Structure 1
Amino acid sequence: MSDVNYKQIIADGLWNNNAGLVQLLGLCPLLAVTNNAVNGLGLGLATLVTLLISNGSVSFSRHWVSREIRIPFYVMVIAANVTVVDLLMNAYLHNLHNVLGIFIPLIVTNCAIIARAEAFASKNEIIPSIVDGFMMGLGFLVLLVVLGGMREVIGSGTLFANASVMFGDAAQGLTMQVFDKDYPGFLLAILPPGAFLGLGLIIALKNIIDDRLETKRIAKRQQEKAAAEAASKVIGGVPASE
């Protein structure tokens, strides 16, 4: 427990190893339902809860499950969790459940969830595994909302236009009219090709940011190295010729 780097877990989940941006896992639901921000938020929350519970369950039972049956066991755990999430959404978020449709049960086949169970939860204690599941789910949720919001704004000129399907009629006031009501819309943005283009732009932006951060880190290391060498020469004393 003491050697767990929670900062690294958080950074990996949100940025460095984001399931959608870096691992490119879970792309089917990511691209299919993100034609608006609310759909992305709903599916993102369902995925986050599934990751959270599945990672905790796998970590808790890792000492009792043999390696030969671990993958079927992971699938059974994830399927049970998804079934619970699906039933709860159908009961309390029925309209959103109807909109997301088959993509809620398909969380079972999301490679990101099985990958975290195998790569992290099966090798670590329960608390770090829960934190890993939460941060990986949160990173995926943020990507879904950002992509959905971007497509909705460009495609329809609004943001959170369908908030009522998730939060009830009281949330109708959350709708933001980003462009004028006369905005004709951009159909490509809310069609499937728009999802590929939007995700590609987000990945490109992440790569640009990573490159600039790496350049700054290299420059900083070089400056520190030069400063350390200069200090060592001063402290080291007189040259050999003297």
Structure 2
Amino acid sequence: MSQLFSKQNKEIFWNPLNIDNPVTVQVLGICSALAVTAKLEPAIVMGLSVTVIVAFANVIISLLRKTIPNRIRIIVQLVVVAALVTIVSEILKAFAYDVSVQLSVYVGLIITNCILMGRLEAFAMQNGPWESFLDGIGNGLGYALILVIVGFFRELLGSGCLFGMQVIPQAFYEMGYINNGLMLMPPMALIICACIIWVQRSRTKELQEKE
């Protein structure tokens, strides 16, 4: 049991949430961060979907890594990811249809998410199932964390709502407050991501040393 939660395994899980975040440090998955964060709910669903897919894809590829011929490893990885994405897509359509409609084609495009292929190739092909599972969960949650932060500020400042419910009091609007429509446009997601990167690098000594 102690080996399962060793210091190395803890670092595998925690580093993607901070000093090795897939979005703000590895700069992967930026496109979906622009596309699905205009509202908080689809941002959360997309983040959780990617987390589940990365975790299970990592485990499957790790289990198969010694039997996959090197020349077709990318094809095998794509097949595994495509199967998991299809399953997640069908589950969303069955149990969260409205969110599935909001995410539109972006659920299917998880197949092309750089985080997935990056973790499969860089980690799962060289490590055991448990370590690969932790790496997938960590990177998925690190990705989801950034989406949630961006979605929170974009929906709150862009429409005055969270989860479709008005948060900013009506009295503010009566006093002249106006929602910032620019927050609902994709470029603002980049600006918020840039602010997160700036805060993270200014507070994290390890990232400053990498520079």
- Say whether residues 1:177 and 2:147 are aligned partners: no
Aligned residue runs from structure 1 range 16-165, under 5 A: 16-161=19-164
2:180 pairs with 170, 175, 186, which one?
A: 186
Once the two structures are overlaid, the 10-residue window that deviates more, 71-80 or 2-11, is 2-11
Distance 1:212 1:71 in 2: 32
Q: Please list every run of 5 or more consecutive structure 1 residues that lacks an aligned counterpart in the other structure.
A: 162-174, 216-242
TM-score (norm 1): 0.78
Distance 1:74 1:83 in 2: 14
Q: Which amino acid aligns with 2:197?
A: I
RMSD of equivalent CA atoms: 2.0
Change (3 A) 1:36 1:52: same
Distance 1:13 1:59 in 2: 19
Q: Please list every run of 5 or more consecutive structure 2 residues that lacks an aligned counterpart in the other structure.
A: none
- Alpha carbons 1:154, 1:185 under 8 Å: kept: yes
1:207 pairs with 195, 201, 206, which one?
A: 201
Structure 1 residues 87-117: Cα deviation after superposition (integer angstroms, max 9, x where no partner) = 1111111110000000000000001101100
Q: Which amino acid aligns with 1:177?
A: V
Structure 1 residues 12-70: Cα deviation after superposition (integer angstroms, max 9, x where no partner) = 22111111111111111111110121111011111111101100100011110011111
- Alpha carbons 2:19, 2:207 under 8 Å: kept: no
SS of residue paired to 2:23: coil
2:11 pairs with 8, 11, 28, which one?
A: 8
- The structure, 1 or 2, with the larger RCO (C-alpha pairs under 8 Å, 6+ apart) is 2
- Alpha carbons 1:34, 1:144 under 8 Å: kept: yes
Change (3 A) 1:214 1:22: closer
